[in-house]
Amino acid sequence: MSTKLVVLICLLMFFGLGSAVSATQVPEFTIITTTEGYDPIRYEAAFLIQEDWAKLGIKVNVQPTEFSTLIETFYNQQDFELAIVGWSGRVDRLDPQHFLGTFHSGQADLRGNNPGGYSNPEYDRLFDLQGKEFDANKRREYVMEMQAIAMEEQPLSVLFYRDEVVAYNKDVFDGFVPMAGEAIYNEWLPFTVEPLGDERVLTIGTTQEPDNINPLDSTTVWGWKFMRLYYDKLVRLSPEIEPLPWAAESVSAVDDVTIEVVLREGMTFHDGMPVTVEDVKFSYDYVVEQDFAYFRPFYQPLDRVDIIDDTTLHFVLKEPTAFFITVTLSQIPIIPKHLWENIKQANQLGPQDVPTVGSGPMKFDRFDRGEYKRLLKYEDYFKADEIAIDAIDYIIYADSEGVYTGLITKEIDMTAWRLEPAQITLAENEDHLQVVSVPDFGYYHMTYNLRLPALDDVAFRRALAHAIPHETLANVLLDGRGERGTSIIAPVNAFWHNPDVPIFEYDLSKAKQVLEEAGYWLDGEGRLNFPKCQ
Amino acid sequence: MGKGEFILKRIVQLLLTYWVILTVLFFLFRLGLPDPTAALVVEGLSAEEQAMVQARFGLDQPLWVQYFIYLRNFLQGDFGVSFHYKAAVFPILMEKFLNTIVLMLPAILISYTIGPVLGVILSWKRGTRIEFSGIVSGLFLRSAPVFWTGMIFIMVFGIWWGVLPTSGMRTVPYDADNFLTKIFTLDYLWHLILPALTIALYYLGLPMLIMRNTMLEVMGEDYIELCQAKGLSPRTIMFKHAARNALLPVVTQAAITVGMAVGGQVVVEVVYSWPGLGREMIQAVRTSDYPMAQASFMLMAGMVLLMNFLADMVYGYLDPRVVTKGEGR
């Protein structure tokens, strides 16, 4: 219990503002969560939590909110008490930088990633240290300690990690390699899928379509999941999340702020032009010059790119940056200089004028909004002999029912996004379908607004944590397809996950005991009250 | 009041109504929908980066400034740039609009051809079991939700029998590069069957029942008795003499239906993954894409007003009393 609060309450009482009992009652809280239609699991979770907390004498209302309004209320306005939201496991977030940043005090302002307002100087200090640490093992120590600090203080409760459950037609294709957070629709798809018969065109069903296919203007993950198949990157993250030099022959650190990249020789763009160090330098300079907001977190540490010789580049950083190789080099696409250099403002291009030439394993063929996308195998790719399919077709459906019907009628071979809970059991009973369950490193959480009385008290939050039915959430709501939440770095992200963070078991008597020890007491109405003045 | 004056007055009313609709649309979306940049937070953009995006779309301006820019742009025929697609709204709108039209018009055509004929037959067989079952099935079709009929069709024709396609406008892969090569194919007609049938069945009940009711009125008129006295066959009386006069309310209803159809049957477009305007409207509202949402609703409102106006004009032509009625003369 923060002493400031006790003093404040005592002063209020001293000056007779309100009667003694009602002034000390822990106020009613409201949980904002998704609507049942958007996500039945988060919706139900709120009601389960409401039920358990009532047993502690804490009154909670549940307010299901339309998704974008929920996001706006939570991030842009911070006008919430408790909120159930989530972070999706996007591949660049396997590096702990982004998730750890959500507890940094510098992110606590409106529109920042830390809407709860957690602030801990020691945590911030370690955050800066890990960000500059090149030695992965040393960095890991910082990352472990940060998780321990934060989870001990429970600025939020990680509710669960939800498996990505997808399905494919096992009679037609096989060899899919699942990746944490991305399931089977990942960037290794062209290299791993094996046709079992004559069909060499893989058809993917999806409801999610790119906002646009301008590599300097797409701001949705679905734009990037599509484009990364036809643009190449210097580094690719292996299915085991190891950074592999890809369009780069090698990547090495010359010193703390200089990274040397040797470019693979003999690569070409889809229009036949060679990929040169000029193109690589241009790609990085161009995203910086165009100030493309979506890539900013990636290129921010970059000072400049120097061309050393025909195959060698030096990336010079403003300060040592641990994630530069794993995130920046694996996310920023190589674009052809000859097609882009005369484009003054990339985000003003009309859809017809956007160059779609990359140097990736597949090449762009067409994109018809709301209908269809197609990629063709790039025969001159340096690993073309590892690609066993001729093309990837995407059928864009209006809703997940459409996608599922597509699987049943064999119109599509696989899904790009998770099945609905009800469809999973149905899919398991279909002879031609293989259901794949892949753990996610994104997480769903309940964030407390730490600016509010009671929620600003560590003991109070720990008691709440003991009263969240984590096992029920994972086993009943998720039907076992997921895991109870522990830390903001998920267990599947094994290298960075701290398995020793404090775990708050579901135990109502323990919760009551924690509250009692902190001085909270129940009044005649059965409502919880703040500790009495000493 | 002369005919010219009547038309002029209607046009002024039309423009005034349209301006009110534009204003309501503007404020409705801005007050009712969440901040369009909210979605960017989930993608990990910082406050500063979100501000960059806001400035780019003019969302940092005061609301009234945005309103006047909106009106000015509208007068110049500029529908703005979609926040979601980050591309000009108009071409996208037209593409989806045409897709919707080629679904809705055939469906409406079917129901407004078959419906009135069935209506005549029902009135002819008045008091029989045919009339009773006709009315019941008409009401049933009218009250069956289209998503339900759609799902039943998908299950039966798509999954059980596997004879008809259940999604989209065409089979992939395809090569069509423009709108005409897209719809002048058997493949498109093949894909049209289920969604058009779903909509046609839903629309069928209304013209059928309207036709039956007006037929019953008309059948009481003196000239019908005269026809019977002349010894004309019931078939000739029904279709040649009575139906013609009973058709007027059906025509009005058809005009209004066509006007409303621009927005598509949202649910049908979703169930059959038809890439039309209705699906687009839902997405625009969901992503707080103000320009896209505004333009789609403007188009829909414009079409409803226009079709109503035309219906009025046709009425004025068919029944001159309309022009002077209500003027207190």
Taking an 8 Å cut-off on Cβ atoms, the answer to whether B47 and A109 are in contact is yes
Whether pLDDT at A222 is above 60:
yes
Looking at A297-311, A382-396, B315-329, which range is the least confident one?
A: B315-329
Does B3 map to a domain? Answer: no
Number of Cβ within 10 Å of residue A41's Cβ equals 20
- What are the contacts of B231-237 at 24+ separation with CB within 8 A? B234/B124
pLDDT class of B319 with cuts at 50, 70, 90: low
Mutate to test the interface with A, among B50, B52, B172 (most CBs of A within 10 A): B172
| Euclidean distance between CA atoms A102 and A127, whole angstroms | 11
Q: Is the dihedral of CA A285, A289, A291, A292 positive or negative?
A: negative
- Chain A residues lying within 8 Å of B270, measured CB to CB: 398-399, 402
Q: What is the mean pLDDT of residues A526-534?
A: 85
Facing residue for B38 by CB, picked from A76, A98, A399: A76
Give the minimum alpha-carbon distance from A462 to chain B in angstroms, rounded to a whole number.
27
Domain range summary for chain A, segments of one domain joined by +: 28-162+441-511, 165-207+361-438, 235-336
**Does residue B314 fall inside a structural domain?**
no
**Mean pLDDT of chain A, nearest integer:** 91
Please give the distance of CA A343 from its chain centroid, rounded to a whole number: 32
- Say whether pLDDT at B328 is over 80: no
pLDDT band at A215 (very low <50, low <70, confident <90, very high): very high
For chain B, percent of residues with pLDDT exceeding 70: 94
Chain A: residue nearest B174 by CA?
A372
Of the candidate ranges A9-23, A458-472, B273-287, the one whose mean pLDDT is the lowest:
A9-23
Report pLDDT for A182: 86
Rounded to a whole number, what is the distance in angstroms from the first to the last CA of chain A?
13
Q: Compute and round to an integer the Cα radius of gyration of chain A.
A: 26
Confirm whether B19 is domain-assigned.
no
CB spacing of B280 vs A221 below 8 angstroms: no
* Residue A461 banded pLDDT, cuts 50, 70, 90: very high
DSSP string, B236-266: HIIIIIIHHHHTHHHHHHHHHHHHHHTT--H
**Whether the predicted pLDDT of A425 surpasses 60:** yes
Report the gap between the CA of B45 and the closest CA in chain A (Å): 6
pLDDT for the residue B49: 78
Our CA angle for A109, A110, A114, nearest 5°, is 60
What b/e readout covers A68-99, taking b as 16+ CB neighbours within 10 angstroms? bbbbbbbbbebebbbbbbbbebbbbbbbbbbb
| Alpha carbon separation from A318 to A305, A314, A315, A328, B24 (Å, rounded) | 11, 13, 10, 14, 50
pLDDT for B263:
66
Closest-CA residue in chain A for B287?
A: A68
**Would you say residue B293 lies in a domain?**
no
Compare CB distances from B92 to A369, A395, A397 and report the shortest one's residue. Answer: A369
Q: Is residue A11's pLDDT more than 80?
A: no
**A371, A373, A393, A447: best mutation site toward chain B, by most B Cβ within 10 Å?**
A371
pLDDT at B307 over 90: no
pLDDT attached to residue A3 = 57
Instruction: Decide whether A28-162+441-511 matches A235-336 in CATH topology.
Output: no
pLDDT at residue B1 in the model: 56
Q: What's the pLDDT score for residue A20?
A: 44
Fold of A28-162+441-511: Dipeptide-binding Protein; domain 3 (3.10.105)
Beta-carbon separation of A395 and B287 below 8 A: no
Mean pLDDT of A482-486: 94
B247 vs B250: CA distance, rounded Å: 5
Tokens of A50: 């409401």
CA distance A493 to chain B (A): 19
Domain membership of residue B199 as a residue range? 89-288
Query: pLDDT band for position A167 (50/70/90)?
Result: very high
Give the whole-angstrom CA distance, residue A367 versus residue A374.
7
pLDDT at position B325, please? Answer: 52
Chain A residue closest to B92 (CA)?
Answer: A369
Question: Which of B49, B85, B168 faces A296 most closely, judged by CB atoms?
Answer: B49
3-state class (DSSP) for residue A154: coil
Are residues A448 and A455 in contact, defined by beta-carbon separation less than 8 angstroms? yes
| Chain A contact probe: residue of B85, B153, B194 with most A CBs at under 10 A | B85
Q: Is the pLDDT of residue A112 over 50?
A: yes
Per-residue pLDDT tens digits for B215-227? 998 888 888 888 8
Q: How far apart are CA A261 and CA A316, in angstroms?
A: 11
Q: What percent of chain B has pLDDT over 90?
A: 35
Task: Find where tokens 């763009």 sit.
Answer: A269
pLDDT in tens, A503-512: 999 999 999 9
pLDDT computed for residue A23 by the predictor: 56
Is pLDDT larger for residue A124 or for residue B259? A124
Tokens of B210: 């309207």
CATH number, domain A235-336: 3.90.76.10
Cβ atoms of B93 and B79 closer than 8 Å? yes
- pTM, two decimal places: 0.86
* pLDDT interval class at B126 (50, 70, 90): confident
Kindly list the residues from chain B whose CB atom is less than 8 angstroms away from the CB atom of residue A72. Answer: 34-35, 38
Q: What pLDDT shows up at residue B322?
A: 62
Q: Do residue A111 and residue B41 have CB atoms under 8 angstroms apart?
A: yes
From A179, A170, A279, select the one nearest A238 (Cα to Cα). A179
> Are B172 and A393 in contact (CB < 8 Å)?
yes
At B106, which CATH number?
Answer: 1.10.3720.10
* ipTM of the complex as predicted: 0.85
Half-sphere exposure of A492 (CA within 13 A, CB side): 29
Categorize the per-residue pLDDT at B321 as very low, low, confident or very high, splitting at 50, 70 and 90. Answer: low
- Chain B's closest residue to A115, CA to CA, is B41
Which of B41, B85, B173 has its CB closest to that of A374? B173
Under the banding of pLDDT at 50, 70 and 90, the label for residue B239 is confident
Q: Which residue of A has its CA nearest to B159?
A: A409
Residue, of A448 and A291, whose pLDDT is higher: A448
Token reading at B227: 């026809």
| Nearest by CB: B41 against A75, A374, A406 | A75
More confident of the two residues A263 and A70: A263
Per mean pLDDT, which range of A363-377, A457-471, B87-101, B252-266 is the poorest?
A: B252-266
Residues of chain B in contact with residue A401, where contact means CB-CB under 8 angstroms, are: 151, 271
Give the three-class secondary structure for A244: strand
Summarize pLDDT for A307-321 with one digit per residue, the tens.
Answer: 999 999 999 999 999
Region B125-137: what's the mean pLDDT? 90
Residue entry with tokens 């019977």: B228
- Range with the poorest average pLDDT among A141-150, A455-464, B235-244: B235-244
Report whether pLDDT(B5) > 90: no
Question: What's the domain count of chain B?
Answer: 1
User: What distance in Å separates the CA atoms of residue A217 and residue A340, rounded to the nearest whole number?
Assistant: 13
- Give the chain A residue whose CA is nearest to the CA of B282: A398
Chain A CB contacts of B272 under 8 Å are 398, 402
Nearest residue on chain A to B36, alpha-carbon basis: A68
Give tens-digit pLDDT for B7-65.
898 899 999 999 999 999 999 888 877 777 776 766 767 777 788 888 888 888 888 89
Superfamily of domain A165-207+361-438: Periplasmic binding protein-like II (3.40.190.10)
- Give the pLDDT confidence of A321-345 residue by residue, as tens digits: 989 999 999 999 999 999 999 999 9
Nearest CA in chain B to A88: B42
Average pLDDT in the A500-520 region? 95
Instruction: Provide the shortest C-alpha distance from residue B84 to chain A (in Å).
Output: 6
Min mean pLDDT across A387-396, A425-434, B35-44, B188-197 is at B35-44
> Residues B263-284: what's their mean pLDDT?
88
Q: How many CB atoms lie under 10 A from the CB of residue A505?
A: 11
The pLDDT score that the predictor gives to residue A379 is 96
The pair of structure tokens assigned to A87 is 């972070």
Contact B34 A219 (CB under 8 A): no
Q: What is the DSSP letter of A144?
A: H
For residue A398, give the nearest of B40, B162, B269 by CB distance: B269
Give the Cα separation of A251 and A260 in Å (integer): 6
Chain centroid to Cα A313, Å, comes to 31
- Average pLDDT rounded to a whole number, residues A16-27: 61
pLDDT at A21: 44
**For A32-44, how does the pLDDT look when each residue is reduced to its tens digit (9 = 90+)?**
999 988 888 999 9
Nearest Cα to Cα of residue B292 among A213, A212, A347: A212
Question: Looking at residues A524-528, what average pLDDT do you find?
Answer: 91
